[in-house]
């Protein structure tokens, strides 16, 4: 079952990604009669996957352990992967955690976003960032049933970031390479898209309605020299924030990327 995207649920006149963000892209969840029904579907999905589907793909993995790991990944949405820390919390080894995450990645439940490799003399972060791919599952793992609960939770910004990444990659041209950029000095860009033909787009993702750009973003632009740069935010208006960077809605950027 293919997850829905913001282009399939919005409209040009009134794009509203909030419902899709809260409920996730699985049609039965998105189209549920209420947020409560959607949340129940997601919780049932998690348990069914852990207890019935996952055991078919390899050696027996304790469902309780895997659910704890999945939940920990939801709490640390978008953060750098630290397998040793996760292993310590679950009283197991880092290689075992890596194997479990490999499985979740293979099942398309988790995304490992690799760091961008630039030809600079800067000291770059080498660890990948990890995201639970479907926002509805992320929220269900954290016990968040509606927008009000999500808006008051620390994962709010990171959840929006993961949601934006998944939607953009779902409509990006085939062979597009996705990564993030971060140096030890603090230069950082949330998403780098290397498009077919060699064009590079740099995307900063903000969960507010009045996005402000940090110095680290401008420094990263100087390092990478992308062809285009955007700030993707929760609003609907499009406007330049600098001579080189536009603020844009997720819906409009997804539409432009899909072209």
Considering only CA atoms, which of 132, 188, 170 is closest in space to residue 179? 188
In the prediction, which pLDDT does 182 show? Answer: 94
Considering only CA atoms, which of 247, 234, 198, 178 is closest in space to residue 17? 234
In the prediction, which pLDDT does 120 show? Answer: 67
How far is the first Cα of the chain from the last one, in angstroms, to the nearest whole number? 24
- Token pair of 96 as six digits: 């075992």
In the prediction, which pLDDT does 13 show? Answer: 47
Are 178 and 171 in contact, with CB atoms under 8 Å apart? no
Considering only CA atoms, which of 184, 219, 220, 216 is closest in space to residue 202? 220
- pLDDT by 10s per residue, the chain, length 259: 678 888 887 654 444 678 999 999 999 999 999 999 999 999 999 999 888 888 777 667 788 889 999 999 999 999 999 999 999 999 999 999 999 999 999 999 999 999 998 766 778 889 999 999 999 999 999 999 999 999 999 999 999 999 999 999 999 999 999 999 999 888 999 999 999 999 999 999 999 899 999 999 999 999 999 999 999 999 999 999 999 999 999 999 999 999 8
Provide the 3-class DSSP secondary structure of residue 177: strand
**Kind and range of the H or E element at 39?**
helix 35-48
∠ CA(180), CA(184), CA(188), 5° rounding? 35
Are 50 and 121 in contact, with CB atoms under 8 Å apart? no
Backbone angles phi, psi at 25, to 5 degrees: -90, -5
Tokens 């402000």, residue?
212
Considering only CA atoms, which of 56, 57, 93, 87 is closest in space to residue 72? 87
Are 217 and 230 in contact, with CB atoms under 8 Å apart? no
**Size of the chain, expressed as the number of residues it contains:** 259
Which residue ranges make up each domain of the chain? 6-258
DSSP assignment of 79-109: SBP-HHHHHHHTTS-HHHHHHHHHHHHHTTS
In the prediction, which pLDDT does 11 show? Answer: 55
Tokens 């009045």, residue?
210
Long-range contacts of range 243-248, CB-CB < 8 Å, 24 or more positions apart? Answer: 245/204, 245/213, 245/221, 247/211
In the prediction, which pLDDT does 1 show? Answer: 62
| Alpha helices, H only, the chain | 6-9, 18-23, 27-30, 35-48, 63-75, 83-89, 94-106, 135-141, 147-151, 156-171, 215-224, 250-258
pTM, to two decimals: 0.94
In the prediction, which pLDDT does 35 show? Answer: 95
């Amino acid at each position: 079952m293919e997850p829905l995207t913001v282009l399939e649920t919005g409209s040009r006149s009134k794009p509203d990604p909030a419902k899709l963000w809260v409920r996730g892209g699985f049609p039965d969840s998105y189209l549920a009669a209420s947020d409560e029904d959607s949340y129940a579907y997601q919780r049932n999905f998690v348990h069914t996957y852990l207890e019935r589907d996952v055991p078919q793909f390899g050696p027996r993995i304790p469902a309780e352990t895997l659910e704890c790991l999945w939940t920990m990944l939801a709490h640390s949405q978008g953060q750098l992967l630290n397998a040793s820390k996760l292993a310590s919390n679950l009283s197991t080894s880092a290689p075992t955690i890596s194997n479990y995450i490999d499985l979740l990645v293979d099942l398309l439940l988790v995304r490992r976003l690799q760091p961008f490799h630039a030809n600079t003399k800067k000291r770059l972060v080498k660890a990948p960032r990890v995201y639970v791919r479907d926002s509805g599952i992320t929220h269900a793992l954290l016990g968040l049933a509606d927008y009000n609960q999500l808006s008051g939770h620390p994962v709010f910004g990171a959840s929006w970031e993961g949601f934006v990444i998944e939607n953009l990659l779902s409509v990006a041209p085939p062979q597009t390479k996705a990564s993030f950029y971060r140096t030890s000095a603090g230069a950082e860009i949330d998403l780098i898209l290397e498009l077919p033909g060699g064009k590079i787009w740099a995307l900063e993702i903000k969960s507010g309605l009045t996005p402000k750009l940090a110095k680290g973003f401008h420094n990263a632009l100087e390092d990478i020299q992308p062809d285009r740069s955007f700030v993707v935010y929760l609003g609907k208006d499009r406007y330049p924030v600098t001579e080189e960077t536009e603020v844009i809605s997720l819906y409009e950027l997804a539409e432009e990327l899909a072209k």
